[in-house]
Amino acid sequence: MNAVKPVLLAFFFLCAGSAFAQSADKEPVAVVELGGAANWNFKGGGSSFGPSVAVEVTPIENWLELEAGVTALFARHSREWDTDLLFKKPWTLSKKAEFMLGVGPEWVHTTKYGVTTNSVSGEAVLDFMFWPSAKHRFGWYLEPGYEYNFGPGHEQSLGISGGLLIAIP
């Protein structure tokens, strides 16, 4: 029985070491995007600016990433709240750079000159993510995009957002 104790003790240390080694290389549970956004409308030529926040998760490694986000855009006599869900295909360019192509639906809540409207849009984006270290704890992103609104007026716009990436372990 005394010989079993050292073997069990060694086994527990080896298992614990393997578990700790795996968690160091593990992908984050989610990535939070905090930043700003700018938007330019084709029809009216007007531009708007505001804050943006999103959370991104990876349900299928190297194949699918989901991003849910909210952007508040402000312009003269109007404000707009965009809530989107993007389905993205990721490509790893290097240990410190990623690229994603994404599409998805967007709900748009607009107040212009006191009149409030709600509509559905389609959105397509290019997402560039840059990580200063290979550990992917903090980084920054740049996300240009195109939006087509299916609501009244069928507005089309180009936008760009960018900011800080924070990995949630």
- Write the pLDDT tens digit of every residue in 50-100: 999 999 999 999 999 999 999 999 999 899 999 999 999 999 999 999 999
Architecture of the domain defined by 28-168: Beta Barrel (2.40)
Give residue limits of the domains in the chain. 28-168
Half-sphere exposure of 34 (CA within 13 A, CB side): 6
d(CA 93, CA 133): 14
Say if residue 20's pLDDT is above 70: no
- Write the pLDDT tens digit of every residue in 94-137: 999 999 999 999 999 999 999 999 999 999 999 999 999 988 89
